[in-house]
């Protein structure tokens, strides 16, 4: 497929990044559409589009591939509009984070549901990048009605964008996402609301409790403009996952009420094993090792640590600061992939004079 003709419907972070990647890496001709004129202007300004179209129908009329990258609640309608106006040989896909409903709504052989696992942390075309999908899992949910030719064309294009397209059943996709994304968001919401309620009932301020509450609630109250759509579109699967979580919490409550230490320990040990298994499966570079160093929390210390590791070629997979209540000092956790790398990092940090242990 040389110089494919592509339309992107919705030019935010994801749509804009698809457009940039298609232009820069594949030499595609990219037409964009967005219901927001400023967003469309920003995408043109950013160099993501060859030109803008005034309607979905005009954007897709002569295209080989169409990506629908609007908010989840609007995807199904936009996909319908795209399929109605796209040529017979065109493939139409979307990037929504739930798939069952959208796939059920469209039995057109030209449609393939999709979901790239990338870029959820920011929004807007100003954060778009041609390499956003490099190495990223890109779920595709072909249905029984999906034709092989458009699927294969889409697959090859995604490879060219740097992604790893992975076929998955739409139901399985929604179950996994409910478990690893939607449920954690719901838990975060419950934690902040329950804490706010408990503290106001006790007339107390939130104490500086360290990282567990903060980490667990970082995604609490994420934008309703995005998340109501996600929750509602995945409501059947998510409701079942919430129910399962309620049952798990109920068993923990029962062990507490019974004062059953062995049951509590077994439950907690199982979680430790599950956590390590999940982490190790995720990181192909080797088991993830967590180092904890005690550091003064002043400007420059993190830089010193990061510089020292960087100079020696040790890459930090993840990092978290746990400041003391007065912010004067704290602990920095460093996640390093691979035991050998972690040992080197450990020695380097120790040589800088900071107490460090493997967690």
CA 217 to chain centre: 16
Report in angstroms how near the CB of residue 29 gets to its own copies at its nearest: 26
Report in angstroms how near the CB of residue 230 gets to its own copies at its nearest: 10
Site for its own copies, residues 138 to 177, rule: CB under 8 A: 139, 168, 172, 175-177
Q: How far apart (Å, rounded) are the C-alpha atoms in residues 198 and 353?
A: 41
Whether 138 and 116 have beta carbons less than 8 Å apart is answered as yes
Check residue 192 for interaction with its own copies (CB under 8 A).
yes
Q: How far apart (Å, rounded) are the C-alpha atoms in residues 124 and 127?
A: 6
Residue with tokens 């609301």: 193
Query: Would the CA dihedral through 91, 92, 97, 101 be positive or negative?
Result: negative
Report in angstroms how near the CB of residue 213 gets to its own copies at its nearest: 4
Structure tokens at 111: 């449609």
**Which range in 18-26, 53-61, 143-151, 295-303 contacts its own copies by CB under 8 A?**
295-303
Check residue 37 for interaction with its own copies (CB under 8 A).
no
Q: Pick from 143, 306, 348, 352: which binds its own copies (CB under 8 A)? A: 306
Half-sphere exposure of 345 (CA within 13 A, CB side): 31
Closer residue to its own copies, CB minimum distance, 60 or 230? 230
Q: Pick from 52, 74, 264, 352: which binds its own copies (CB under 8 A)? A: 264
Q: Pick from 87, 196, 287, 347: which binds its own copies (CB under 8 A)? A: 196
SS3 assignment, position 142: coil
Q: How far apart (Å, rounded) are the C-alpha atoms in residues 312 and 112?
A: 45
Report in angstroms how near the CB of residue 46 gets to its own copies at its nearest: 10
Residue with tokens 């935010």: 12
Check residue 358 for interaction with its own copies (CB under 8 A).
no
- Alpha-carbon distances of 157 from 23, 25, 142, rounded to whole Å: 12, 10, 16
Whether 11 and 69 have beta carbons less than 8 Å apart is answered as yes
Check residue 222 for interaction with its own copies (CB under 8 A).
yes
Report in angstroms how near the CB of residue 212 gets to its own copies at its nearest: 5
Report in angstroms how near the CB of residue 315 gets to its own copies at its nearest: 5
Closer residue to its own copies, CB minimum distance, 148 or 313? 313
Site for its own copies, residues 224 to 263, rule: CB under 8 A: 224, 227-228, 231-232, 235, 238-239, 241-246, 248-250, 252-253, 256-257, 259, 261
Q: Pick from 89, 107, 269, 347: which binds its own copies (CB under 8 A)? A: 269
Structure tokens at 261: 């230490």
Check residue 307 for interaction with its own copies (CB under 8 A).
yes
Closer residue to its own copies, CB minimum distance, 55 or 304? 304
Strand order in the sheet with 5-9: 51-52, 29-33, 5-9, 65-68, 91-94, 111-116, 137-141, 164-167
Report in angstroms how near the CB of residue 163 gets to its own copies at its nearest: 9
- Alpha-carbon distances of 207 from 85, 219, 300, 323, rounded to whole Å: 58, 20, 27, 13
Query: Would the CA dihedral through 114, 115, 119, 124 be positive or negative?
Result: positive
Closer residue to its own copies, CB minimum distance, 144 or 261? 261
Closer residue to its own copies, CB minimum distance, 84 or 167? 167
Check residue 17 for interaction with its own copies (CB under 8 A).
no
**Which range in 33-41, 85-93, 146-154, 216-224 contacts its own copies by CB under 8 A?**
216-224
Whether 15 and 44 have beta carbons less than 8 Å apart is answered as no
Q: How far apart (Å, rounded) are the C-alpha atoms in residues 252 and 264?
A: 7
Site for its own copies, residues 104 to 143, rule: CB under 8 A: 117-118, 120-122, 124, 126-127, 129, 131-132, 134-137, 139
Check residue 353 for interaction with its own copies (CB under 8 A).
no
Check residue 311 for interaction with its own copies (CB under 8 A).
yes
């Amino acid at each position: 497929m040389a110089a494919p003709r592509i339309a992107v419907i919705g030019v935010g972070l994801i749509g804009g990044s698809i457009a940039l990647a298609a232009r820069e890496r594949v030499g595609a001709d990219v037409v964009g559409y967005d219901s927001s004129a400023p967003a469309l202007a920003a995408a043109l300004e950013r160099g993501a589009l060859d030109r803008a179209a005034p309607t979905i129908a005009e954007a897709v009329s002569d295209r080989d591939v169409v990506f629908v990258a609007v908010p989840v609640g609007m995807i199904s309608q936009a996909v319908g509009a795209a399929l109605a106006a796209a040529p017979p040989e065109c493939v139409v896909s979307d990037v929504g984070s739930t798939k069952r409903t959208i796939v059920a709504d469209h039995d057109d052989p030209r449609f393939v549901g999709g979901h790239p696992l990338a870029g959820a942390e920011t929004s807007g075309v100003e954060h778009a990048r041609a390499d956003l999908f490099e190495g990223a899992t890109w779920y595709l949910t072909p249905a029984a009605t999906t034709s092989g030719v458009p699927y294969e064309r889409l697959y090859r294009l995604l490879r060219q964008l740097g992604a790893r397209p992975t076929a998955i059943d739409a139901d399985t996709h929604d179950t996994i996402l409910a478990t690893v994304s939607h449920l954690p968001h719901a838990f975060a919401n419950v934690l902040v609301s329950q804490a706010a309620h408990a503290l106001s009932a006790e007339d107390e301020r939130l104490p500086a409790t360290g990282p567990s509450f903060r980490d667990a609630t970082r995604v609490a109250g994420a934008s309703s403009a995005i998340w109501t759509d996600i929750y509602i579109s995945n409501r059947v699967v998510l409701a079942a996952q919430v129910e399962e979580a309620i049952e798990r919490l109920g068993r923990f409550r029962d062990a507490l009420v019974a004062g059953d230490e062995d049951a509590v320990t077994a439950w907690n040990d199982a979680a430790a094993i599950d956590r390590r298994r999940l982490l190790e499966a995720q990181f192909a570079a080797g088991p993830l090792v967590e180092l904890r160093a005690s550091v003064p929390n002043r400007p420059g210390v993190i830089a010193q640590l990061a510089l020292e590791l960087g100079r020696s070629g040790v890459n930090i997979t993840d990092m978290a600061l746990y400041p003391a209540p007065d912010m004067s000092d704290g602990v920095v956790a460093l996640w390093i992939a691979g035991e050998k790398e972690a040992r080197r990092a450990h020695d380097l940090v120790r040589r800088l004079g900071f107490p460090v242990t493997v967690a």
